[in-house]
Amino acid sequence: MPFRPTLAASLIAGALMSTAFGGAASAALWPFAPKADAKTDTAAKPPVSAPAAAPAPAPAKAAPTPAADLFIIPGFRAAHFGMTREEVLAAINTDFGVHADKVTVTVNEDEGTTLLVVQVPKLEPGHVPAEITYVLGATSKTLIRVGVAWTLAGEPTADQRRQMVNDGVVVMNLLHDLKWAPGATHFAVPLGPNAVALFSAQDPVGTAVELNVQGVQYDQPVNGKTVSSPPAKGPAALMVLYTRNIAHPDIRRLPKGAF
């Protein structure tokens, strides 16, 4: 069964994660369901005439991963959360050889945040140029969010949309292999008719990552049947968002009592 298949800086600036962390994820979408860990019970059944065997003791639950061993999201490459504007610009130059005068600076008036936007011709695993947006907090003026977007404008072909999904799976596998707390990850949550959160997770200190793909058609099991979303039209995009303190991001808020 085939998987039938722009995010501008302004979208990344306002994205505070689409899925509800801590809530139940929707039914997994093919082919993004996590691998099952259950083992088949191979114990032989007693003969009919034999007395019933005592139930086997339940297998001991694996000890939870110590918080010290869990993955902490530091930021993106050389740009770490909490860095100042000058430090982020230096990190951009270190990672991509882009000097400060080539970085586009804009302001999100609604959030009160500052955006540093850089274009990268090639960024693995994407097959199209990437746009990376570094967001500085409204009050701290330090790095609070990073968004990486690969976008296909216009009307991409079916093969191009499929490649976008394949690139997303590569990133998903990388994120999945990191050490997360039980229940901290979600897979393949529909965000709309042609958008899916392939993966999302939150680390022990409240920093979150979400991997989204948009502009694709997908199949979903519903009541034992396979249901397809509408055919995708318009641009397609793959986006990774890293957000510090997802529960209370550093953005402008209305004062208490305003309403």
Residue 70 in contact with residue 203, Cβ under 8 Å? Answer: yes
Residue 54 included in any domain: no
181 burial (CB, 10 Å; 0-12 / 13-18 / 19+) is middle
Position 220 in a domain: yes
- Give pLDDT tens digits for 83-108: 999 999 999 999 999 999 999 999 99
Q: Buried (b) or exposed (e) across 51-74, using 16+ Cβ within 10 A?
A: eeeeeeeeeeeeeeeeeeebbebe
Compute the distance between CA of residue 157 and CA of residue 216 in angstroms, rounded to an integer: 11
- Tokens representing 62 are 């694996």
How does pLDDT run across 133-174, given as a tens digit for each residue?
999 999 999 999 999 999 999 999 999 999 999 999 999 999
Q: Is the dihedral of CA 13, 238, 220, 5 positive or negative?
A: positive
Tell me which of 38-47, 62-71, 163-172, 246-255 is least confident. Answer: 38-47
State how far the alpha carbon of 248 is from the alpha carbons of 185, 205, 244, 257, in Å. 19, 12, 9, 19
Q: For the residues 29-56, what does the mean pLDDT come to?
A: 37
Asked if the structure places residue 30 within a domain, the reply is no
* Domain-located, residue 223: yes
| Residue 44 counted as domain residue | no
Q: Residue 132's pLDDT is what?
A: 98
How large is the average pLDDT for residues 124-140?
A: 97
Domains identified in the chain, total number: 1
Please, where are the H alpha helices in 16-147?
85-96
Domain that holds residue 85: 9-14+68-243
pLDDT, one tens digit per residue, over 215-233 is 999 988 889 999 999 999 9
CA distance 193 to 251: 29
Contact (CB, 8 A) for 242 and 73:
yes
Q: Which residues contact 90 (CB under 8 A, 6 or more apart)?
A: none
In terms of Cα–Cα distance, which of 31, 71, 21, 62 is closest to 186? 21
Spatial contact of 146 and 75, defined as CB atoms under 8 Å apart: yes
The reported pLDDT for the residue numbered 222 is: 87
Poorest-pLDDT segment among 35-49, 73-87, 157-171: 35-49
Confidence of residue 13 (pLDDT cuts 50, 70, 90): very low
Can you tell me the distance from the alpha carbon of 249 to that of 72, in angstroms, rounded to the nearest whole number?
17
Give the closest residue to 70 by CA, choosing from 146, 183, 151, 152. Answer: 183
Q: What is the pTM (predicted TM-score) of this model?
A: 0.76
pLDDT of residue 14: 45
Please report whether residue 109 resides in a domain: yes
Residue percentage of the chain with pLDDT more than 90: 68
Which range (14-18, 27-31, 135-139, 194-198) has the least confidence?
27-31
Query: What separation, in Å, do the N-terminal and C-terminal C-alpha atoms of the chain show?
Result: 51
- Reply yes or no: is the peptide bond before residue 221 cis, omega within 30 of 0: no
Q: Per the domain annotation, does 250 fall within a domain?
A: no
Contact 14, 135 (CB under 8 A): no
Residue 150 CA from chain centroid, whole number: 14
Rounded to whole angstroms, how far apart are CA atoms 197 and 152?
Answer: 18
**Is 256 within the bounds of a domain?**
no
Q: How many CB atoms lie under 10 A from the CB of residue 77?
A: 14
Give the model's pLDDT for residue 257.
82
